[in-house]
Amino acid sequence: MKKILLSIFLVMLTFFTLQAQLRNGLIGQRTQSVGSLVFSFGPSYCLADPDCSKGIFGTVANQNMFQNLNMSFGYRNTFSDELSYKIALGYDKFTGNDIKTDRNYSFKTSAIQLTWQGEYNYHFGKRYRRRLPNNIYGFLGLGIMSSNANLTRPTPETRTYYGDIRYKQYDVTLVFPYGFGYKYDIDEKFSIGSEFCWRYTFSDFLDGFKPPYPASKSNDMLEGFSLTLSYKLE
């Protein structure tokens, strides 16, 4: 998995280099698209089988936000006033517990993902230097996630993942990010903003545990809020 992510990262780096050369006129004519580097950081929560999966407000109320985080670094290409796309490499850390049921376990999971998302933008506000500084956007994408769940149970005979197919520490799954965000242009180079994001997965093992049906009827999902900082390359 690490080799796959490294290969994709190298392809992305080569793509970014070619984009920079195009913008600077080193290859052919100047492109009309605009590239930006984007960094985001904020709390991330897992809607899984444990008791913490009660929606965003219930989750926040029962979890320490400093133990549940997401950060990502990516590249956004804007090729029209309305359309853009972003490629991002992200890291998640999230926790949960199930102390109110007879399973009585807790988990700590770390995950890494590579995602691509398409974005639709709407600009508004008072025009400043021939541009509108405010931008709200919606996005939908596709990616791949690798997770490592550290699951703890109170009794020695049930602490490991072995001997029960319902337990799985390492997992790789497709992920579908979607949500909406807001971006404000501070000047010609820098922008700040925020995003609400949901990430649906095809896995029920982000927390390391899959209860037998009908106790578990859906896959695990991530949700969160992040602050963003963008730097325009041109």
Specify whether the backbone of 162 is left (phi greater than 0), alpha (psi in -120 to 50) or beta: beta
Residue 75 lies in a domain: yes
Residue 15 lies in a domain: no
How many domains does one find in the chain?
A: 1
Cα-Cα-Cα-Cα dihedral sign, residues 70, 75, 78, 79: negative
Nearest-CA neighbor of 75 among 111, 22, 116? 116
Residue 192 lies in a domain: yes
| Low pLDDT (below 50) residues in the chain | 1-2, 4-5, 8-11, 13, 15, 18, 21-31, 51-61, 157-163
Return the CATH number at 220: 2.40.160.20
Residue 79, pLDDT score: 83
Residue 221, pLDDT score: 87
Residue 101, pLDDT score: 55
Residue 103 lies in a domain: yes
Residue 169, pLDDT score: 84
- pTM for this one? 0.72
Residue 148, pLDDT score: 92
Residue 191 lies in a domain: yes
